[in-house]
Structure 1
Amino acid sequence: MPEFIPLISRQTIQNRVREIGKQISRDYQGKDLILTGILKGAFMFMADLTRQIDMDHDIDFIGASSYEGTHSTGQIVFTKQPDLEYRNRDILLVEDIVDTGNTLTKIMEFIQLLNPNSVAVCTLIDKHERRKKAIPVKYACFSLEKGFIVGYGLDYDEKYRNKPEIYDLKL
């Protein structure tokens, strides 16, 4: 039976997302911003984040996966391409968790091929335990050293995304 150890409360998440949204609004004022959520994990975070950004912006999604259970396979599979034109626009990739950095590195390389003005990363969780690639995270709601996290969009084999808080999962 899995054990869920509470890490970050719903209220703490909402407060931090509000702060990050205000910072993004200031930093991107006057720019042509596209928030690009990385599916599936970022959908809850992105929904809350976009409501906290007080400026016009577009929303898009890209799908990529490299996980089976709790381990990265090392193989990146793109499951959804962007729908919008990225040329000469400012792209903010919205991710649930930056872990090894492998998937996000491949996504960033792909986005650069679309000739945007800029590409930056906003993540709910910046986790350092298994980092293999240096990822320039511009906005991180929370930084963790270790653990396998679920809830608020984060999953284990497609389960537990619906939990409203963030937990360390012990199997």
Structure 2
Amino acid sequence: MKIKDKHFKVLLDYEQISKRVMELAAAINHDYEGKNPLFIAIMNGAFMFAADLMKHVHIPSEITFIKVNSYQATKSTGNVKELIGLQENIFKRNLIIIEDIVDTGNTISHLLEDFNTLGADSIEIVALLHKPEAVKKKVAIKYQGFSIPNKFVVGYGLDYDGYGRNTRDIFELLE
């Protein structure tokens, strides 16, 4: 598949993704029964993952969205820029951060610091993708979808310069 000036091949198809999303939701349903967690989806990339995950979360819960950015083209800038912030009071809440991908760990580390200072009771991460080889700041991911190689990926909400978010599958960059 071609997106803008780059070529990609399928890394994970929608059937694999769907199956894993249901498994993650089942684990969350079990672990958070009776706890009323607040899900915080990180936009833009996590929008498809968050929507599919929440279809299978059957416990009382809320969801909100924040927008942060640390990527430019196919590389992490290393800087986390908060674009749209959190409006809900998270004091004494159980938070579950919904992230499309954890690679360097910079974005999640930044958010964990911010949320801890606001008095959350607990904070866990559900990430569809994790790139262990790219980690610069180690974070604990309680609910992990897939561990992938340190390659640029697009699709299922992830983008290349704003394009490719609308595919059902996840594609990796062909070098």
Same fold (TM over 0.5): yes
Distance across 2 between alignment mates of 1:91 and 1:62: 13
Alignment RMSD: 1.0
Q: TM-score, normalised by structure 1?
A: 0.96
1:132 and 2:145 aligned: no
1:38 and 2:42 aligned: yes
Residue 74 of structure 1 is aligned with which of 71, 74, 78?
78
Partner secondary structure for residue 162 of structure 2 = coil
Distance across 1 between alignment mates of 2:132 and 2:56: 27
Q: Once structures 1 and 2 are overlaid, which stretch shifts more, 123-132 or 91-100?
A: 123-132
1:64 and 2:72 aligned: no
Give the aligned partner of residue 54 of structure 1.
58
Distance across 1 between alignment mates of 2:68 and 2:114: 11
User: How far apart are residue 4 of structure 1 and its match?
Assistant: 1.6
User: How far apart are residue 111 of structure 1 and its match?
Assistant: 1.0
Partner secondary structure for residue 151 of structure 2 = coil
Give the aligned partner of residue 154 of structure 1.
158
After superposition, where does 1:97-136 map in structure 2 within 5 Å? 97-136=101-140
The number of residue pairs the alignment matches comes to: 171
Q: TM-score, normalised by structure 2?
A: 0.94
Q: Deviations over 1:114-147 (max 9, x none)?
A: 1111011100101122110111000011111321
Report if aligned partners of 1:88, 1:115 keep a CA contact under 8 Å in 2: yes
Report if aligned partners of 1:41, 1:153 keep a CA contact under 8 Å in 2: yes
Moved over 6 A (4+): none
User: How far apart are residue 106 of structure 1 and its match?
Assistant: 0.4
1:85 and 2:108 aligned: no
Which consecutive residues of structure 2, in runs of 5 or more, have no partner in the other structure? none
Which consecutive residues of structure 1, in runs of 5 or more, have no partner in the other structure? none
